[in-house]
A and B are shown apart, each in its own frame.
Chain A
Amino acid sequence: MKIYDDEKALIDGLAANDFDATEIIYRDNYPSIEAFILKNNGVHDDARDVFQEAMIILFERVQSGSFELTSLIKTYLYSVSRRIWLKKLQKLNRHYPALENVSEIVAVEDQIEMHDKVNRDLDRMQQSLSKMGEPCKSLLEAFYLEKKSMPEIAEAFGYTNADNAKNQKYKCLVRLKKLFFSQYKNEL
């Protein structure tokens, strides 16, 4: 395992989706958050869900470059997890925990709101992708994410030539867009 001498290195590792950095953050922070949730009407699985959500919010922020080290990772994760858990309790109508004595450590309310919105968009994308099926999904991933060239893709997916693959990619893209935007229409 690599050694991370400071928070900055951990943040960079997290932004790069690095396994070791993620593991260290998990080890350092999970126990305290789990303890908080167990103390406040939650069970182990709740703690896992909440912590994952908080990690994803942190990930989004470090990826967009908007996470500044004004607060420690620890305080940030704790604040976010706490907000998420409170919201969940409200939705579930469980008893409110006694939290008066805990003041807001970092203002995270806006970020969580934004995350919820982003999450809905991501869900839509995810659903569109799964509706689309294979090989379209892999084809688009190979091109847009793995940045493979058309000749490489033609070879990997068994198309006769690059033009053919390109054509297929275009068709897949149009289908994905249709699926994606139709969900917005349904909402109106």
Chain B
Amino acid sequence: MEENILLDAIERYQNGEMSPEEKSYFEELRKHNSNIDEVAVEHLLFLEQFSKARNINSFKNTLNEVESKLESEGLISTNNRNDKAKVITLWRKYRRTIAVAACIAGIVSLSTASLVSLYSENKKVAVITPLVDNKLNQFEHKLNQMENKLNDATTVIEKPKFEANFRATGFLADGNGYLITNAHVVDNARNLIVENTKGEQFTAISVYSNPVTDLAILKITDTSFKKISALPYTFPKVTAELAQPVFTMGYPREEVVYGEGYLSAKSGFYGDTSSYQISISVNPGNSGGPVINKNGDIIGIISSKETNAEGVVFAVKSKNIYNALKEVKSNKEITIKLPQVNSLKGLDRVHQIKKIEDFIYKVKGN
């Protein structure tokens, strides 16, 4: 603990937070005790190194943003790498390693996860979020140990040690890193991590959550998140029609799962007009997933299902999102822009899914 105090002193000294007496005492101490001086020099160098690394990292993000902007304008063209020797930059190499690591994790989790439904207050509606039990945590721990051993033998595997105790679904509403999911998913979470279909993980924070509508908005805080210029789907304000076929994508398993159904009522549980009743097969983990119609409009967000009836699922109407955005804007001064152009209309389902799946995220937390 002594080192703790010393490092703290060094930082306060550096930031000019010391009183004059304390400052001269500290300088005296450095002068006469070479050990302390050494620690101070080393620590300051280390901090400089640290900020430099992060600085350059955020500059790289800017570069990538500029690049993708110019690319969309056609000023920069991509690849035609046809020949023998290739210059593979480091991060591309890592990306592949991460994907492999993610695959291994997926298989193990699947074989051990036991899914339990969380019951909400009225006991009739089960909230669709799985509680992954302790066993899974133990396995993850073992997996981490194995990975550490692997690390020694090979290169670095980028995988944060994060023990999640629930899993749900969320989707991007704004390419700047704003995701929509359910309030019940994030309300009691301390840390949140979202993961896309490529296995890239980002930390996120909740910027809005409303237990009444069961809507929450997350913001990806990781600097490694690359801004997405155009999302393919839109969010209609009008109520959708009965019998409309719909589909959803979510994470009842480690891998994204597709499901189809139809709109069975324009109101939800006990006549709740802010949601729809949908007949679709969903499982714990689907919570927060989008309900999409054949044109690629997101008409709702899966939130709960009735426990004593088969295939009765409730989804929050998408027009509630607009109210949520207004609240976020007035309370937190965050402007979130929903996509305005739908590029999914007229495509067949397989192609629609291909365009959508990158933006459906797994939401994990503890």
Contact = CB atoms under 8 A, between A and B. Distances in A.
Q: Say if A and B assemble together.
A: yes
Interface of B: 3-4, 7-8, 46-47, 49-60, 62-63, 65-67, 69-70, 75-83, 85, 87, 89-90, 151, 156, 158-162, 190-191, 193, 203, 205, 221
A48 B67 contact: yes
Interface string A117-133: 01001110111011101
B140 to A, nearest CB: 12
B67 A126 contact: no
B76 A145 contact: no
Contacts of A94: 85
B53 A129 contact: yes
Interface in A46-90: 46, 48-49, 52, 55-56, 59-60, 63, 88
B87 A46 contact: yes
Contacts of A121: 49, 53
A121 B160 CA distance: 21
A59 B59 contact: yes
Nearest to A167: B4
A30 B73 CA distance: 14
Contacts of B78: 44-45, 48
A17 B90 contact: no
B227 to A, nearest CB: 10
A81 to B, nearest CB: 14
Contacts, number: 121
Nearest to A64: B52
A180 B12 CA distance: 23
Interface string A7-41: 00000000001010011001100110010000000
A187 interface: no
Contact of B203 (A52, A131, A138, A166): A138
B95 to A, nearest CB: 12
Contacts of B3: 174
Contacts of B67: 26, 48, 52
Contacts of A31: 75
12 contacts: A19-B62, A22-B62, A43-B81, A92-B85, A93-B85, A94-B85, A118-B52, A127-B156, A130-B158, A131-B158, A134-B191, A138-B203
A134 B158 CA distance: 11
